[in-house]
Amino acid sequence: MAQVGGAAAHVAASLSRPSGVGVRVTAVRPHDDSDLRAQGASLLGMPLERDYAEAAVDFSIRGEVVRVFVNAQQGFVGLAGQLAHAVLDSGQEIMGSTPFPPCPGHAHPMTVGASAGRVFWCCPGAPDTATAVLVESGRAGHRRSSEWPSGSASG
């Protein structure tokens, strides 16, 4: 769960920086839905993935809790990407008409992009162009880099 917590904290910090809104991780814990998964697999006549582990992560955005679920067995880059995707819609609902996170120079929020072992924030109009790298795989693990371009906090 430590890697899940680290990825969640990294995503929270990367959302706080450009939005000016404090995003915090308030809980990270294992989530056991094996009974429900077994029922679903049985009903669908599919094999059950026995080595699947899920985690529940609670983020606090403007005092409201957003709970997301992730596959806890993936690497840091995958966790960061899945967590960033999962928290965006709920975060935007909480923020109302304020873009979350703000896209520099535009009146809409950024989205999450991924390619070649990296996860990044990008403009929906240019999904292959990183505005800010959230996390990137490296030869010796991963490099956490979420420096925002100057002026991005203004939206």
Q: Which helix (H) or strand (E) holds 21?
A: none
Mean pLDDT of 4-21: 91
Phi, psi of 77 (to 5 degrees): -65, -45
| pLDDT tens string 79-137 | 999 999 999 989 999 999 999 999 999 999 999 999 888 999 999 999 988 998 899 88
| pLDDT tens string 16-57 | 988 888 999 999 999 877 777 778 888 888 887 766 688 999
Q: What is the CA radius of gyration of the chain?
A: 16
Quote the pLDDT of residue 11. Answer: 95
- Choose among 141, 117, 110: nearest CA to 14: 110
- CA–CA separation, 122 and 136 (whole Å): 14
- CA–CA separation, 76 and 106 (whole Å): 30
